[in-house]
Amino acid sequence: MKAMISTLTTLMVLIAPAALAGGGFDVKNQGYYIFDFLAYCFVIYVLARKPMADFLQKRRSDAESEISEATRLKAEATERLERYESKLANLETETAELEEQFRLDGQREHDRILEEADAQAEKLRSDAAMAITREGARLRGQISEELAERSMERAEALVLERLDAQSQQALIRSFIDDLDKRTTLDSISA
> Where in the chain are the domains?
2-163
* pLDDT value at 190 more than 60: no
Q: Can you tell me the mean pLDDT for 135-140?
A: 87
pLDDT for 61 equals 94
pLDDT of amino acid 73: 94
The pLDDT of residue 26: 67
Q: Measured between alpha carbons, how far is 51 from 48 in angstroms, rounded to an integer?
A: 6
The proportion of the chain whose per-residue pLDDT surpasses 90, expressed as a percent, equals: 13
> Which segment, 13-22, 36-45, 158-167, is predicted with the most confidence on average?
36-45
Average pLDDT for 43-71: 91
Is the per-residue pLDDT at 91 higher than 80? Answer: no
Mean pLDDT across the stretch 91-104?
Answer: 84
Q: Where are the alpha helices (DSSP H) in 22-31?
A: none
Coil, strand, or helix at residue 1?
coil
Mean pLDDT over 55-81 rounds to 93
175: left (phi over 0), alpha (psi -120 to 50) or beta: alpha
What's the mean pLDDT when you consider all of the chain?
A: 82
- Helix 2-21 × helix 32-162 angle, to 10°: 100
Helix, strand, coil percentages for the chain (3-state, nearest 5): 95, 0, 5
pLDDT class for 165, splitting at 50, 70, 90? Answer: confident
State residue 59's pLDDT score. Answer: 93
For the chain, the distance separating the N- and C-terminal CA atoms, rounded to the nearest angstrom, is: 129
Q: What angle do CA 22, 23, 27 make, to 5 degrees?
A: 95
Q: Can you tell me the mean pLDDT for 8-19? A: 67
pLDDT band at residue 189 using 50, 70 and 90 as cut-offs: low
pLDDT band at 57 (very low <50, low <70, confident <90, very high): very high
Q: What is the total residue count of the chain?
A: 190
Q: Is the pTM for the entire model greater than 0.85?
A: no
User: What band does 70 get if pLDDT is binned at 50, 70 and 90?
Assistant: very high
